[in-house]
Chain A
């Protein structure tokens, strides 16, 4: 499967709405067990941008793949980011990377 350009654009557009307030973190069930900010929605949304721009590491992938997609963060996000679908789409991006042209 090849991810369409549109999904990458959508991820960037949606994730870029993040104003970094962190209001999403207290409701996230994975941030404390994860041990750093990457395991919370604020971190993951901003990692999503980095991933689309080519960043990869085990730590980044662990942070993204541990998201439970529970959607608690979306309910409290002041910027109304569709966090669940950003993370879902980014998981696809990691598992099905675009072929370089």
Chain B
């Protein structure tokens, strides 16, 4: 059966678009979350027609299909099953059209967000969604995971930036649909575009997207400050959030994590407490006023050290973003220190709470982690209440894995108790299905899960598209 499917795929798409080497397939069967699996084959479509033919074939032959971007998902949403076929979009990576007048860009799903921004910089524009993995995250992956990022408080998430999509349905014909518009204002009945955004590849395959773009800020003032206590940090945060400004970036890292980030990056910054990084965009005339205003707030709340920069270039050259960018290396380093010489999984949580509850959330996560014997590192995009507590465990230690799974549930419960959500930007995948149920139960909205399953059935009647994920 396996040979027949591979042979069919080769006839359908061409031999050079199908990989059946099991070792190469294994590279498409693993996530940073630590989940691993297997698949029958990996295929590399080059256009919408390839995807349409593939989905039609899969529908007629009941073959499971698993779409993948760069597999940086952290929730299990990109993991295939042994009897499924992975569609990978490396070869659909063209930027099709940039329209400054329309403020849109048309792209294929395999374009990386980092590359998209390199292109847009030529025009003085940007695509503002910037997950921690922005250099490798693909447009298709970002759409399907509903990605957010550092600038979420100012620019929102993918659902705010996708105007239109070309999608392929898993049906008899592999139907190709164009949904949404090329304009920001668009009332096309029910909003199918926003249904696809965040659907984790379970409803349809995206083969082209029209995205909104926005001008690069004229100028940006950045402040990097360190606070002796969480309370001091939170008071500075509260003051800024309550001052009729909308910072582009508001990032937090706890003291322990900041030390690890300093070690990982070797940046010339004196780390003296919990880190708070704020960037505010403004016009050139306002730079000095904004800089002194933010410095005053940080000082008022006992910041032990404050670094400021009056442009992004200055902030970069002085390493003001380096600590934050070293969050993931710091989390990896924490795991390596805890379990020297062993193969580790860095487990990254993803919750959001109303920003007013951040202090409580951070304190409770630290407390619960301590009581469970879990070494935790906390960082997050605090401007929108999004926290990424992280820990690590050895891949071959079942007991540690179970303990981390329990911790993951407890962190999710803290988010719910504080009026937040169990998944801010990483998605549900397989790892958060139970927590999603809990969240909907807590809202008294279990029926929403029934509606989600019915929507899944309407798009994918045979359940062949990324089955077992989300609901």
Contact = CB atoms under 8 A, between A and B. Distances in A.
B21 A22 contact: no
A36 B23 contact: no
Nearest to A38: B24
B93 interface: yes
B133 A19 contact: no
B332 A78 contact: yes
A78 B329 contact: yes
Given A19-B332, A23-B133, A59 B19 contact: yes
Interface string B311-331: 000000000000000001100
Contacts of B136: 21-23, 25-26
Interface stretch (B184-192, B338-346, B379-387): B338-346
Contacts of A37: 24, 27-28, 88, 90
Nearest to A22: B136
B336 interface: yes
Interface residues of B, number: 37
Contacts of B28: 37
Contacts of A80: 329
Given A32-B90, A37-B27, A78 B21 contact: no
A21 B23 contact: no
Contacts, number: 86
A26 B112 contact: yes
B328 A78 contact: yes
Nearest to A42: B27
A26 B135 contact: yes
A19 B34 CA distance: 8
B30 interface: yes
A32 B344 CA distance: 29
B338 to A, nearest CB: 14
Nearest to A37: B27
Nearest to A79: B332
Contacts of B207: none
Nearest to B110: A32
A73 B332 CA distance: 16
B114 interface: yes
Among the interface residues B16, B21, B31, B336, which one has the most CB atoms of the partner chain A within 10 A? B21
B44 interface: yes
Contact of B30 (A20, A26, A32, A35): A20
A22 B343 contact: no
A57 B21 contact: yes
Interface stretch (A43-51, A82-90, A93-101): A43-51
Contacts of B344: 19
Contact of B44 (A22, A36, A78): A36
Interface string A7-38: 00000010011011111011000011001111
Contacts of B345: 19
Interface in B66-88: 70-72, 88
A46 B343 contact: no
Contacts of B336: 17, 79
A19 B32 contact: yes
Contact of A60 (B24, B32, B328, B335): B24
Contacts of B24: 36-38, 43, 59-60, 63
A6 B93 CA distance: 41
A55 interface: yes
Contact of B135 (A19, A23, A50): A23
A65 to B, nearest CB: 15
B393 to A, nearest CB: 12
Contact of A20 (B31, B44, B112): B31
B328 A21 contact: yes
A50 to B, nearest CB: 5
A8 B265 CA distance: 29
Interface in B12-52: 16, 19, 21, 23-24, 26-28, 30-32, 42, 44
A79 B228 CA distance: 29
A47 to B, nearest CB: 6
B90 A16 contact: no
A13 B341 CA distance: 7
A37 B89 CA distance: 11
Among the interface residues B16, B23, B91, which one has the most CB atoms of the partner chain A within 10 A? B23
Contacts of B30: 20, 46
B332 A36 contact: no
Contact of B114 (A26, A32, A42, A46): A26
Contacts of B328: 21, 23, 78
Interface of B: 16, 19, 21, 23-24, 26-28, 30-32, 42, 44, 70-72, 88, 90-91, 93, 112, 114-115, 133, 135-136, 264, 328-329, 332, 335-336, 341, 343-346
Given A17-B343, A35-B91, A36-B88, 9 more contacts: A19-B344, A25-B136, A26-B112, A46-B30, A47-B23, A57-B23, A59-B24, A78-B328, A79-B336
12 contacts: A13-B341, A16-B343, A19-B332, A22-B71, A35-B91, A37-B28, A50-B26, A55-B23, A57-B21, A59-B24, A79-B329, A80-B329
